[in-house]
Amino acid sequence: MTPSSNGTAALARASQDLYVAVRRDAPLVQCLTNFVSMNIAANVLLAMGASPAMVHASDEAPEFARLAGAVVINIGTLSAPWLDSMLLTAASAHEAGVAWVLDPVAHHATAFRRDAVRRLMALQPAIVRGNASEIIALAGGQSAGKGVDARDAVAQAEQSAREIAIAHRTVVAVTGETDYVTDGQRSVHITGGSALMPLVTATGCALSALVGAFAAVAKDDAYTAAVAALSCFAIAGERAGALAQGPGSFAWRFLDALAGLEAESLTRESPLR
C-alpha cells in the first residue's frame, strides 16, 4: 500500500520531527562496519549531529551495545572474528531493546556471507538496508548482482522487500536511483540524490549508519526512521550534486550539505512519493 498524498505529508512531518530529535539528542551509534566505510560513516554521523562509535571487538562490542542508542552491523569486510562479534552484539542489542540495523553487503556472493546473514537475520534487525540485488537475493530470488554492485532496478526488488519485511517483522529499505521503504504494510518511494553518489566509496554504508541514528531516536518507529534518514540523504545528495564537478568535489559538498540541512527541508523539499 503506497501512502496517499496526505499520508506522505504526514510522514514528511514525522521525518522532520526525528531530524530535530537527532540534532537535539546526538544519539550514540555503534557501528560494526567495514574498513572501507569507517571514515565516511563517522563523518556522515557527525555531520548530522549524531555521535559515532566504531566499536567492533568481541571483548567489548556486546557490552557497549547496551549503552548505544542504536547498533549498525555492516558485513562489507567480513571475517570469522568479526562475525562472532556481530552475532554477540546483535543478540545483546536485541536483548537490551536497542534497535539494530543490518547492511547485508554482497551477502549472496559466497557461502560464508550467506550463512552470516542467515544467522544475523535470526536476531531480528529493526531495519535492513541494502541495494536491489542484495534484497532480491535475501528473499531467495535470483539477482543479477556481482559482489557489492547492484545490477537490478529497485522496482524489481519491491516485492522481495515486502516479503522480507513480513517474514522477519522488520523494515526494509532498498536504495538506488529511487529508494523504496516498506514494513510489509506501508511503503513509500524516495526520489532525489545524485548520479555521483555511487562513484563515492561507501556512501551506501554511510547511509546505513545514518539510519541507525534515526532509529535511536524513533521510539520503536523503525519505518519512519528509515524514511527520515533516506530523505536527508536524498535532499543533501541533490544539493551537492547540483554544485559538484565530479565525485571528488561531490564527497565534501555532500558532507557540507548534510551538516547544513534545515529541519524544514524534510517537508519543504520532501522527496517522498
Question: Average pLDDT in the 197-222 region?
Answer: 96
**pLDDT-derived band at 144, boundaries 50, 70, 90:** low
Q: Is 129 annotated as a binding residue?
A: yes
Q: Confidence class of residue 147 from pLDDT cuts 50, 70 and 90? A: low
Higher pLDDT, 248 or 148: 248
**How far does the chain reach from its first CA to its final CA, in angstroms?**
12
Q: Give per-residue pLDDT as tens, 37-53.
A: 999 999 999 999 999 99
% pLDDT > 90, the chain: 92
Beta strand segments in the chain, E: 28-32, 51-53, 70-74, 100-103, 127-131, 171-175, 179-182, 187-190
As beta bridge partners, residue 70 has 29
What pLDDT score does 219 carry? Answer: 86
Q: Considering the entire predicted model, what is its pTM? A: 0.94
Distance of CA 174 to the CA centre of its chain: 9
pLDDT band at 3 (very low <50, low <70, confident <90, very high): very low
Q: Is 5 a residue whose pLDDT tops 90?
A: no
Residue 229 has pLDDT above 60, yes or no: yes
Amino acid (1-letter code) at residue 45:
L
Of 116, 107, 92, 105, the C-alpha closest to 33 is: 105
CA-nearest of 168, 173, 209, 179 to 70 is: 209
pLDDT for 212 beyond 50: yes
Residue 98 corresponds to which cell in the numbers above? 536497542
Residue range 198-214: average pLDDT? 97
- Do 231 and 272 contact (CB within 8 A), yes or no? yes
CB 17 within 8 A of CB 59: no
Strand 171-175 relative to strand 127-131, pairing: parallel
Dihedral over Cα of 47, 194, 161, 221: its sign: positive
- How high does pLDDT run on average in the chain? 94
Burial letters 239-269, b for 16+ CB under 10 A, else e: bbbeebeebeebbebbbebbeebeeebbbeb
54 assigned binding-site residue: yes
Average pLDDT over residues 90-116: 97
Cα–Cα distances in Å, from 85 out to 75, 92, 115? Answer: 11, 10, 15
The pLDDT tens digits for 57-97 are: 999 999 999 999 999 999 999 999 999 999 999 999 999 99
- pLDDT tens, position by position, 157-196: 999 999 999 999 999 999 999 999 999 999 999 999 999 9
- Does the pLDDT of residue 150 top 80, yes or no? no
Band the pLDDT of 1: cuts 50, 70, 90.
very low
Output phi, psi for 187, to 5 deg. Answer: -155, 160
What are the beta bridge partners of residue 131? 175
**What is residue 160's predicted lDDT score, i.e. its pLDDT?**
97
- By DSSP bridging, strand 179-182 and strand 28-32 are unpaired
Q: Is 13 annotated as a binding residue?
A: no
Contact 133, 151 (CB under 8 A): yes
- Say if CB 4 and CB 190 are below 8 A apart: no
Burial of 17 (0-12, 13-18, 19+ CB in 10 A): middle
**Whole-angstrom distance, CA of residue 216 vs CA of residue 224:** 12
Q: Is 151 annotated as a binding residue?
A: no
